Chains A and B, each alone.
Chain A
Amino acid sequence: MSAQEWLAIGPLLAVFALAMLAVVLDIARPGRDRLVTGVMVVGLLGAIALTGYTAWYFGGGEVEVFGGAYVRDALTSFLDLLFLSIALLTILFSPDYLHPRRLPMAEYASTLMFAISGAMLLGAARDLLVLFLALELLVLPGYMLAGYAKRDGLSTEGAIKYFLLGSFSSAIFLFGLALVWGFAGSTRIPEVAAVLTSLDGAVSLTPALTMGLALLTAGVAFKIAAVPFHYWTPDAYQGSPTPVTGYLSVGPKVAAFALILRLFVDALAPLKADWVPFIVVLAALTMTLGNLVALTQDNIKRMLAYSSIAHTGYILVGLAAYAAAPPGSDTERAGLEALLFYSAAYSFMNLGAFAVVTALQKRTGVTSQITTFAGLGRRAPLLGALMFLFLLSLTGIPPLAGFWAKAYVIIAAVQVDSPWLIGLAVLTVLNAAAAAFYYLRIAVVMYMGEPSEQTAPVQVGRLVSAGLVLSAVATILIGLVPGPVIAFAQEAARALL
Chain B
Amino acid sequence: MSQSLDAYLVLASLLFCIGTFGFLARRNAIAMLMSIELMINAVNLVIVAFGAFTPELADRASVIALIVMAVAAAEATVGLAIVIAIYRNRRTPLVDEYHSMRE
Which residues from chain A sit less than 8 Å from chain B, CB to CB? Answer: 129, 132-133, 136, 140, 143-144, 147, 150-154, 156-161, 163-164, 167-168, 170-172, 174-175, 178-179, 181-182, 185-187, 234-235, 238-239, 298-299, 302
Residues of A within 8 A of B90 (CB): 153, 156-157
Judge whether A174 and B86 touch: CB under 8 Å: no
B14: CB under 8 A from chain A? no
Contact of B46 among A159, A182, A235 (CB under 8 A): A182
Q: How far is the CA of A261 from the CA of B64 in the complex (A)?
A: 23
Judge whether B36 and A168 touch: CB under 8 Å: yes
The interface residues of chain A, by DSSP majority, are classed as helix
**Distance in Å: Cβ of B67 to nearest Cβ of chain A:** 7
Contact of A171 among B36, B78, B101 (CB under 8 A): B36
Q: How far is the CA of A209 from the CA of B100 in the complex (A)?
A: 41
Judge whether B40 and A171 touch: CB under 8 Å: yes
Judge whether B101 and A239 touch: CB under 8 Å: yes
Nearest 9 A/B pairs, CB to CB: A182-B50, A156-B86, A171-B39, A153-B89, A157-B98, A150-B85, A178-B46, A174-B43, A167-B36
Judge whether B54 and A136 touch: CB under 8 Å: no
**Distance in Å: Cβ of B17 to nearest Cβ of chain A:** 11
Q: How far is the CA of A182 from the CA of B57 in the complex (A)?
A: 8
Q: How far is the CA of A302 from the CA of B81 in the complex (A)?
A: 25
Q: Which partner residue on chain A sits nearest B46 by CB separation?
A: A178
Judge whether A185 and B89 touch: CB under 8 Å: no
Q: How far is the CA of A175 from the CA of B82 in the complex (A)?
A: 25
Judge whether A159 and B67 touch: CB under 8 Å: no
Contact of A163 among B16, B78, B89 (CB under 8 A): B78
Q: How far is the CA of A170 from the CA of B64 in the complex (A)?
A: 16
Q: How far is the CA of A215 from the CA of B62 in the complex (A)?
A: 23
Q: A136-B71, A147-B85, A160-B83 are in contact. Are A179 and B46 (CB under 8 A)?
A: yes
Q: A156-B82, A158-B101, A178-B46 are in contact. Are A164 and B33 (CB under 8 A)?
A: yes
Give me 5 other A-B pairs in contact (C-beta within 8 A), A171-B43, A298-B103 excluded: A129-B67, A157-B101, A174-B40, A175-B43, A239-B101
Judge whether A185 and B29 touch: CB under 8 Å: no
Residues of B within 8 A of A170 (CB): 75
Judge whether B57 and A129 touch: CB under 8 Å: no
Q: Which partner residue on chain B sits nearest A157 by CB separation?
A: B98
Contact with A along B91-103 (1 / 0, CB 8 A): 0000100101101
Residues of B within 8 A of A151 (CB): 89
Q: A133-B67, A159-B86 are in contact. Are A164 and B32 (CB under 8 A)?
A: yes
Q: Interface centre among B16, B32, B57, B86, by most A CB within 10 Å?
A: B86
Residues of A within 8 A of B88 (CB): 150
Judge whether A156 and B89 touch: CB under 8 Å: yes
Q: How far is the CA of A175 from the CA of B43 in the complex (A)?
A: 5
B18: CB under 8 A from chain A? no
